[in-house]
Amino acid sequence: MGWQQTEDEGCPRVPGVISVTACGTQDHDHGTMMKRRQLIGSRVLALLLVGSLAADVLLKDVGDMQQLMWACYWASACVVAGVFFRSDALVSWGVIFFAGLGLPAWLVGVAIYRDVQLTSVLMHTVPLLAGLYYMSGMTAMPRYSYVGAWLLYVVPFGLSWRFCSAEAMINLSHWVQRPLRHTLPSNAAFYSVLLVLSAVMVLAAYAAMQYVLLRRSDLTAAALPAAAEADVRRS
Predicted model pTM: 0.79
Is the CA virtual torsion 205, 207, 212, 217 positive or negative? positive
Q: What pLDDT digit, counting tens, does each position of 125-140 carry?
A: 999 999 999 998 888 9
More confident call, 226 vs 205 = 205
The b-or-e profile of 150-188 (16+ CB within 10 A means b, else e) is bbbbeebbebbbeebeeebebbbbbeeebeeeeebeeee
Mean pLDDT over 15-21 rounds to 44
Q: What pLDDT digit, counting tens, does each position of 159-193 carry?
A: 999 999 888 888 888 776 666 666 777 778 888 88
Mean pLDDT over 141-154 rounds to 95
Give 23-31's long-range contacts (Cβ < 8 A, gap of 24+): 24/228, 27/3, 27/224
Distance CA 122, CA 134 (A): 17
Q: What is the pLDDT of residue 81?
A: 95
Any idea where the domains of the chain sit in the sequence?
25-223
Q: pLDDT band for position 118 (50/70/90)? A: confident
Q: What is the pLDDT of residue 186?
A: 78
